[in-house]
Amino acid sequence: MKAFVYKGPGKKALEDRPVPDVKAPTDATVKIIKTTICGTDLHILKGDVPTCTPGRILGHEGVGIVEKTGPGVTAFHQGDHVLISCISACGKCEYCRRGMYSHCTTGGWILGNTIDGTQAEYVRIPHADTSLYPIPPGADEEALVMLSDILPTGFECGVLNGRVEPGATVAIVGAGPIGLAALLTAQFYSPAEIIMIDLDDNRLEVARRFGATQTVNSKDGKAAEKVKALTAGRGADTAIEAVGLPATFLLCEELVAPGGIIANVGVHGTKVDLHLERLWSENIAITTRLVDTVTTPMLLKTVQSKKIDPKLLITHRFKLDKILDAYETFGHAASTGALKVIIEA
Ligand SMILES: [Zn+2]
Ligand SMILES: [Zn+2]
């Protein structure tokens, strides 16, 4: 089968690999229909993710058809159409029993990281019963690719951790796919204002279409002042960091209102200053989280009932044999306008 392989920092290739087979009784193999590229995959290609070693097939998102199940798999059968979660979960360990699937002792984020992933024609899914979700008949499968990772990530790490409330003011720093996923799902709670902040005017324009009530271009370094001006000097009740850079986290520290929450979503590679000399008295909270994907069944229902339309995030489509082009397009989002690119296997 064809597979996209990480070959070490800065190196990648489309290779021929053997079709994976079930190993453990609880495994299933899935024939990929559609997958996508994540910002995390770009981090891996740069060499930022040491757990992912050269030779690994990347990808932790996708929809497909169950090809084969181990004898211990009871919830899925050959031919079932399934959504693949970016988080594998045994459902039995202490963390899983607490709903913290991201820290499953034999799972978590392993797909396309410590085991081969979904950017291939087939993938082996461990703990299949609790790591796959049935796709309802008639669902738009392409839209559901957005539910493997970015929708639950934006929702759980940003909106739920940030405790977005009716009437609240939300600032989202970063209008990439994750920030936009937070923007879509924040609207479940009817905040009064959602202020989107980014350097790219095109992305801010997209954010307007997705429901942002205000947009701020942070190019001039005055984003915090502008947010204060838009909120009668208070700042944002919820500040969602969806970039993963020191500057964007510092911006959240500057624009959060007294009593507010900074909900970090971004993947950080370096340390960030925490200005407690200013924040110690401000009654704020800071949250971090790796997505648990506990909200995937709920999000599936909201997509089915058309409360949200994650298909809006899809800007480009490629066949698997053109995945190198897809990486080029996705990796140069500022010039290509790419948000999520769909790869058809
Ligand atoms: Zn991802
Ligand atoms: Zn577990």
Backbone angles phi, psi at 42, to 5 degrees: -70, -40
Backbone angles phi, psi at 88, to 5 degrees: -95, 140
DSSP state of 114: T
User: pLDDT at position 104, please?
Assistant: 98
Q: Say how many Å lie between the CA of residue 193 and the centre of ligand 1.
A: 27
Q: Which residues surround ligand 2, an ion (CB under 5 A)?
A: 90, 93, 96, 104
Say which amino acid occupies 291: V
Alpha carbon distance 101, 98 (integer Å)? 8
**Cα atoms in the Cβ-side hemisphere of radius 13 Å centred on 165:** 8
Q: Say how many Å lie between the CA of residue 110 and the centre of ligand 1.
A: 11
One DSSP character per residue, 282-306 reads: TT-EEE------TTHHHHHHHHHTT
- CA of 100, nearest ligand number: 2
- pLDDT single digits (tens) 120-145: 999 999 999 999 999 999 999 999 99
Q: Say how many Å lie between the CA of residue 87 and the centre of ligand 2.
A: 10
Q: Say how many Å lie between the CA of residue 256 and the centre of ligand 2.
A: 35
Q: Say how many Å lie between the CA of residue 266 and the centre of ligand 2.
A: 24
| Residue (of 28, 104, 30) closest to 72 by Cα position | 28
Q: Say how many Å lie between the CA of residue 246 and the centre of ligand 1.
A: 20
Residue 89 has pLDDT above 90, yes or no: yes
Q: What average pLDDT is seen over the chain? A: 97
Q: Say how many Å lie between the CA of residue 94 and the centre of ligand 1.
A: 24
Q: How confident is the model at residue 249 (pLDDT cuts 50, 70, 90)?
A: very high
Q: Say how many Å lie between the CA of residue 294 and the centre of ligand 2.
A: 13
Alpha carbon distance 253, 173 (integer Å)? 11
User: pLDDT at position 2, please?
Assistant: 98
Could you give the angle at which helices 323-331 and 39-46 cross, rounded to 10 degrees? Answer: 100
Determine contact, residues 341/142, Cβ cutoff 8 Å: no
Mention every residue, 6+ apart, whose C-beta is less than 8 A from residue 230. 193, 195, 214, 216
- CA of 101, nearest ligand number: 2
- pLDDT single digits (tens) 90-101: 999 999 999 999
Q: How confident is the model at residue 255 (pLDDT cuts 50, 70, 90)?
A: very high
| Structural domains of the chain in order of their starting residue, each with its CATH number | 2-149+294-344 (3.90.180.10), 152-287 (3.40.50.720)
- CA of 157, nearest ligand number: 1
How much is the pTM? 0.96
Q: Say how many Å lie between the CA of residue 114 and the centre of ligand 1.
A: 14
- CA of 113, nearest ligand number: 1
User: pLDDT at position 95, please?
Assistant: 98
- CA of 92, nearest ligand number: 2
Q: Which of 4-8, 12-16, 48-52, 142-146 has the lowest mean pLDDT?
A: 48-52
User: pLDDT at position 269, please?
Assistant: 83
At residue 234's C-alpha, the angle toward residues 230 and 236, to 5°, is: 75
Q: Say how many Å lie between the CA of residue 91 and the centre of ligand 1.
A: 21
User: pLDDT at position 90, please?
Assistant: 98
Q: How confident is the model at residue 162 (pLDDT cuts 50, 70, 90)?
A: very high
Burial 226-264 (b: 16+ CB within 10 A, else e): bbbebbeebbbbbbbbbbbbeebbbbbbbbbbeebbbbb
Burial 307-329 (b: 16+ CB within 10 A, else e): ebebebbbbbebebeebeebbeb
Residue 48 has pLDDT above 90, yes or no: no
User: Percentage of residues in the chain with pLDDT exceeding 90?
Assistant: 97
Alpha carbon distance 303, 80 (integer Å)? 20
